[in-house]
Amino acid sequence: MTESSISARVSQLLHFLYPELDQHILASKVIDAFWPDNLHRRRKPRKPGNNLWTQNDAVLITYGDSLIDGHHKPLDLMHDFLLTHMKGVVNGVHILPFFPFTSDDGFAVTDYRKVNPQLGEWADIQRIGSEFHLMSDLVLNHVSSQGVWFNAYLQGQKPYDGFFFEASPDDDVSMVTRPRTTPLLREVETAMGTRHVWCTFSHDQVDLDFRNPEVLLEIVRIIRLHIDMGVRIIRLDAVAFLWKQIGTNSIHLPQTHAVIQLMRVLMDYAIETVILLTETNVPKAENLSYFGNRNEAHVVYNFPLPPLVLHAMMSGNAKYLINWQRTMPPAPLGCAYLNFTASHDGIGMRPAEGLLPAPEVGQIIDTIREIGGKVSMRSLPGGGEAPYELNCTYFEAMGRTFEGRDDHHLDRFLCSQTIPMSLEGIPAFYIHSMLGTPNDTDAVDRRGMNRAINRHRWDYAALKEQLDDPQSVHARVLAMLSERLKIRAKQPGFHPNATQFTLNMDERVFGLWRQSLDRAQSIFTLHNVSADTIDIPESDLNLIADETWVDLLSGETIEAGPVTLAPYQCRWITNLAPVA
């Protein structure tokens, strides 16, 4: 593409978004906002391919203050933890919103251009970004009601007087898809009179109005700043709700996809290699739509995975996990899945819609409550409520099955975390999964928020004491997961785009066949999700004759005959010996 080509593509998208405006002038403004001061850009866009990631890629998800000691900057402590325990285990770090905020643990941003001084400063962010692939949140759907932008809006200051989405109490908003049960509209007094602003998530999180191109331009400038500060993976938070239109469900609207396509064009021309990740906690087909035609997100979350793995481990049966995986398409060329079981949020249940029958969901909910977890609800169009997410650490969730407690807690948890390592895509692990953190019920009572149960802040000295004791649960969990991630990183068969086929075998076993891009390595990944000892018939595996097959996890050579799986055991059986 030439200079005119990028302008033409940007202009085309802007014409769709803002048909009443001169798209050529607006395109120049967008390009100048992303490349100010005549910054260099690529002459041609990156072509979709499989070279943006490798089997070495894995991500740690953490808050900037997941580790505290009352003396040092939390980002200094995080940097120390990363270098001490995560170097060679993961190469990417998602630091959840590290900006000044007023609520929702960072997702009500008051200033996108500053680092929360309680965490550290930009130099601390840059230091981590110089040693790990840094992921940052672009909270682009809404801002804090106590931030500079919204205060300027209340006072009628330009351009902020047009930055927020307004509606009337008389508008029909019954079709609007909601992730919360709070009222959608908030009445506010402004210099322009009484207004009702749109709040998808909470009344402290006021939605921006992307129908105003000035909002888009400001977000583009913020993206450039974050890239300049070392961010290389941009997580588009709650992006599905970005564009609103009265009389619709205001989710996944075509204009939302056009905004993401515009961002993708900018990333494709950026000298820096920047990956777009969309956060859309919705059912499968809706989630996959954010790949677009290989022209939107590079990566999407594999949102059905957490509830399906949870059900498999609790029930001892992988039937629904297997059925879902069989119908999952490989990621398009130049795209990948982000596989995870736990994050800072709860275990989302919307992605399980249509995948898990209602009675099975009910059993999960009952079991989570027995463990001491919480259930958060969402409002349904037309009235009523449904489970939105389960609030419980994943480690704690693995302490009980539908049958009750047993002695397999650690093995069951390790199996649940090995599954995302085995799947096509890039694995990501919440810090509290890596550390085997239990539910923080005190935080729920103290903060009055269900999600606090999964957002424990470790005293760093106490954590180090635990990790220095090899017999502690936390040290054992970290060591077991780290070992498997290090093994995984050496296997070309685990490239995020390596071939994947779902095996047909005992429903208590979730089995996959992976093959490297050059077809040299095959890996049969077997995960026993039950407390039973299972023999897999030799006929269920396609172990090519005249090759030596080795289990990467146990080191044993696989001989002819059935393959035995102990309760919750995982095997990675490959035709290539482990790389030294």
Catalytic residue annotation: 237
451 labelled ligand-binding:
yes
| Contact between residue 545 and residue 523 where contact means Cβ atoms under 8 Å apart | no
In angstroms, the Cα distances linking 263 to 46, 216, 288, 296, 300 are 14, 10, 18, 8, 15
Say if residue 520 is exposed, middle or buried (CB neighbours under 10 Å; 0-12, 13-18, 19+): exposed
SS3 sequence of 318-348: CHHHHHHHHCCCCCCCCCEEEECCCCCCCEE
How long, in residues, is the chain? 580
Alpha-carbon gap, residue 571 to 553, rounded angstroms: 6
236 labelled ligand-binding:
yes
142 labelled ligand-binding:
yes
Say if residue 2 is exposed, middle or buried (CB neighbours under 10 Å; 0-12, 13-18, 19+): exposed
Alpha helices in 379-494 (DSSP H): 394-397, 409-422, 431-434, 441-447, 460-468, 473-489
| Contact between residue 229 and residue 129 where contact means Cβ atoms under 8 Å apart | yes
235 labelled ligand-binding:
yes
Sign of the Cα torsion 213, 9, 247, 240 reads: negative
345 labelled ligand-binding:
yes
| Contact between residue 210 and residue 22 where contact means Cβ atoms under 8 Å apart | no
End-to-end Cα separation, the chain, in angstroms: 44
Alpha-carbon gap, residue 540 to 183, rounded angstroms: 53
445 labelled ligand-binding:
no
Backbone angles phi, psi at 513, to 5 degrees: -110, 125
**Both tokens of residue 93?**
């770090």
Alpha-carbon gap, residue 562 to 197, rounded angstroms: 63
**Both tokens of residue 320?**
């629904």
Cβ neighbours, 10 Å, residue 168: 11
Cβ neighbours, 10 Å, residue 285: 8
**Nearest to residue 512, comparing CAs of 324, 354, 260?**
324
Sign of the Cα torsion 16, 19, 24, 30 reads: negative
Alpha-carbon gap, residue 475 to 486, rounded angstroms: 16
Annotated binding site: 104, 142, 235-237, 344-345, 451
Annotated binding site for substrate: 104, 142, 235-237, 344-345, 451
